[in-house]
């Protein structure tokens, strides 16, 4: 028997507890709202923030003069013409205040000579990217925000909650339906405002740099609630994700901080520098934009000049042990435990799914198309255009989280509480309360692995019409295999959780593949081998919506659709 639903009533429901969700909760609470945070993993531990070992961009101007307008110019340039200018403006203007607030809360930004110190990440015109040593930025941000929410009685929070669907009453989002993993109890949450802070979709890909629970569920929740998504074709691949030798206990994107501090050489399988062939001479400094570096590495591997495991070499052999130790302290010991001595050997790196530029369409108040629903962090589409600048991900989590919390609290003051009607929650509760069947086929874990292979092989950094057509067909097959009713059941059944995950992942995968198939040009992170040029008529956003349960992509220029 499925337990009876548990009802929760709150002013603001925040879904997700990375930096965006936590900051949103803090802001809404200090503006007088009662908040409930629902997290499908553990509070502050799942998602991407805790994995972010790199830097946070903000025009603090402490060491060298800076201004949000310079940060904005770099963000726009990196976005290859597609940044939503209002969102990018907000990102850059509010960043310093958020960074200083975290500083006041004791996050521990690295300092030199009494100033918060910054490094120059690729694409920035000056040192602008702050960090916490050693490679501890994300965990420190997460811990700091978690400590703040623990101090606020107005914020309740619960982990192990899988949100299955948003509740829409008369065209407005009025809460959500989900279940508690540990007990399998259905949960109905009524809220005057709901904030999606669910992160991105990197779990769609075989090799990725984020947590196992970032499968794009926020995009799917928003789609089913009637929101539009934009720019879903733009998946950022982080060019130098760790590939070999096997390294445990470290985030695969760990080499970026090494490059900020120590430069390092990117070499092909013949130990030759190669990025200059693709239009960017590194010259011993780390300046290469992510989309270009990814392209160069994949092309070099295709030409048979890759490293043994199918990537490129990254070498710090020019660095002394003392220099390495000074820059990375205990991290050097962790590498030694993995039998990696950077003074004597290069490592192998390759592009790895890292971040999603696309997402839910929102205005500068973080409001979506559907009243009552706000978004924060990576789930927001458009701020970073076709290619995100290094360092802007945690920044947008903080800035958009804070703004969403403010907007949600405003809505709370203007909205009277309403009870959720049985009709509004019926469909979602029916899924959540599906009886345990004992059915173990299909194997949901294997289906996720298969979807990840499809996306990596055919919707990866280099795309063609044939690959994308094959991907769309494979996604349709997996969708049919998944069926209409959840399998598994009972306490902490990963199969049932994965069924709900796949329901979301497959819809989102289709949005990415169809958007990529439509865009017959190459721009930023979307590279088409059959359409290599960047075309002026494609200086536009595509929208993804859902109609009758089907994903629809629209917005292509007329001549592209006709071809």
Footprint of other proteins on this chain (CB under 8 A)? 6-8, 41-43, 45-46, 50-51, 53, 138-139, 150, 156-161, 180, 182-183, 185, 187, 211-213, 245-252, 338, 440, 443-446, 449, 488, 490-495, 498
CB of 44 to other proteins, least distance (A): 8
The residue (of 72 and 258) whose beta carbon lies closer to other proteins is 258
Phi, psi torsion values for 287, nearest 5 degrees = -125, -5
The residue (of 123 and 215) whose beta carbon lies closer to other proteins is 215
- Choose among 51, 65, 48, 78: nearest CA to 118: 65
The residue (of 185 and 327) whose beta carbon lies closer to other proteins is 185
Q: Is 193:12 a contact under the CB 8 Å cutoff? A: yes
CB of 404 to other proteins, least distance (A): 21
CB of 448 to other proteins, least distance (A): 8
CA distance 487 to 210: 26
Q: Is 107:33 a contact under the CB 8 Å cutoff? A: no
Q: Say whether 53 sits in a helix, a strand or coil.
A: coil
Q: Is 109:129 a contact under the CB 8 Å cutoff? A: no
CA-to-CA dists, residue 289 to 78, 293, 351, angstroms: 8, 6, 13
CA distance 398 to 70: 19
CB of 53 to other proteins, least distance (A): 8
Phi, psi torsion values for 356, nearest 5 degrees = -120, 120
The residue (of 344 and 547) whose beta carbon lies closer to other proteins is 344
* 562 Cβ contact list (under 8 Å, min separation 6): none
The residue (of 97 and 449) whose beta carbon lies closer to other proteins is 449
CB of 406 to other proteins, least distance (A): 24
The residue (of 64 and 494) whose beta carbon lies closer to other proteins is 494
The residue (of 139 and 310) whose beta carbon lies closer to other proteins is 139
* 500 Cβ contact list (under 8 Å, min separation 6): 162, 164, 431, 486
CB of 348 to other proteins, least distance (A): 13
The residue (of 46 and 123) whose beta carbon lies closer to other proteins is 46
- Choose among 88, 93, 71, 59: nearest CA to 383: 88
The residue (of 77 and 250) whose beta carbon lies closer to other proteins is 250
Q: What angle do CA 10, 14, 19 make, to 5 degrees?
A: 145
CB of 288 to other proteins, least distance (A): 24
CA distance 91 to 74: 12
411, two tokens:
């809505």
Q: Is 17:157 a contact under the CB 8 Å cutoff? A: yes
457-472 in b/e form (b: 16+ CB < 10 A) is: ebbbbbbbeebbebbb
CB of 2 to other proteins, least distance (A): 15
CB of 202 to other proteins, least distance (A): 11
Count, in order, helices (H) and strands (E) of the chain.
15, 21
The residue (of 200 and 252) whose beta carbon lies closer to other proteins is 252
CB of 226 to other proteins, least distance (A): 28
């Amino acid at each position: 028997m499925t337990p009876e639903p548990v009802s929760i009533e709150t002013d603001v429901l925040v879904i997700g507890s990375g930096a965006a969700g936590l900051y949103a909760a803090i802001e809404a609470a200090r503006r007088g709202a009662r908040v409930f945070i629902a997290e499908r993993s553990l509070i502050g531990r799942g998602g991407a923030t805790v994995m972010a070992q790199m830097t946070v961009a903000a025009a603090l101007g402490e060491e060298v003069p800076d201004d949000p307008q310079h940060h904005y110019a770099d963000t726009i340039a990196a976005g290859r013409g597609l940044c939503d200018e209002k969102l990018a403006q907000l990102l850059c203007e509010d960043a310093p205040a958020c960074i200083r607030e975290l500083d006041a809360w004791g996050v521990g930004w690295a300092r030199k000579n009494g100033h918060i110190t910054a490094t120059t990440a690729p694409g920035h015109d000056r040192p602008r990217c702050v960090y916490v040593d050693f490679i501890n930025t994300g965990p420190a941000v997460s811990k700091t925000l978690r400590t703040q929410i623990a101090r606020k009685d107005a914020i309740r929070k619960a982990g192990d909650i899988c949100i299955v669907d948003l509740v829409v009453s008369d065209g407005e989002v009025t809460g959500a339906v989900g279940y508690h993993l540990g007990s399998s109890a259905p949960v109905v949450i009524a809220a005057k405002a709901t904030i999606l802070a669910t992160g991105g979709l990197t779990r769609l890909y075989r090799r990725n740099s984020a947590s196992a629970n970032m499968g794009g569920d926020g995009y799917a929740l928003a789609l089913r609630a009637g929101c539009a998504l934009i720019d879903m074709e733009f998946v950022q691949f982080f060019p130098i994700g760790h590939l070999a030798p096997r390294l445990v206990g470290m985030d695969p994107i760990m080499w970026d901080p090494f490059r900020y501090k120590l430069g390092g050489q990117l070499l092909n399988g013949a130990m030759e520098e190669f990025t200059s062939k693709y239009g960017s001479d590194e010259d011993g400094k780390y300046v290469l934009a992510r989309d270009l570096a990814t392209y160069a590495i994949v092309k070099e591997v295709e030409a048979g000049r890759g490293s043994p495991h199918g990537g490129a070499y990254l070498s710090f052999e020019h660095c002394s042990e003392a220099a390495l130790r000074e820059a990375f302290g205990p991290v050097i010991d962790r590498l030694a435990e993995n039998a990696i001595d950077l003074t004597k050997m290069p490592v192998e790196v390759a592009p790895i799914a890292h971040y999603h530029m696309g997402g839910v369409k929102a205005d500068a108040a973080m409001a979506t198309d559907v009243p009552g629903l706000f978004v924060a962090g990576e789930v927001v589409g458009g701020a970073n255009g076709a290619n995100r600048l290094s360092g802007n991900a945690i920044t947008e989590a903080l800035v958009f989280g804070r703004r969403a919390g403010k907007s949600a609290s405003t809505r709370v003051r203007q909205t009277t509480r309403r009870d959720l009607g049985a009709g509004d929650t019926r469909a979602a509760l029916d899924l959540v309360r599906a009886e345990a069947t004992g059915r173990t086929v299909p194997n949901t874990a294997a289906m996720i692995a298969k979807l990840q292979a499809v996306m990596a092989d055919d919707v990866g950094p280099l795309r063609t019409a044939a690959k994308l057509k094959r991907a769309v067909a494979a996604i349709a097959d997996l969708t049919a295999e998944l069926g209409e009713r959840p399998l598994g059941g009972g306490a902490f059944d990963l199969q049932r959780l994965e069924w709900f995950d796949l329901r979301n992942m497959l819809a989102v995968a289709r949005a990415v593949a169809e958007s990529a198939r439509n865009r017959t040009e190459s721009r930023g992170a979307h590279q088409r081998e059959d359409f290599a040029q960047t075309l002026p008529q494609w200086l536009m956003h595509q929208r993804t919506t859902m109609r009758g349960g089907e994903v629809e992509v629209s917005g292509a220029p007329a001549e592209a659709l006709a071809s």
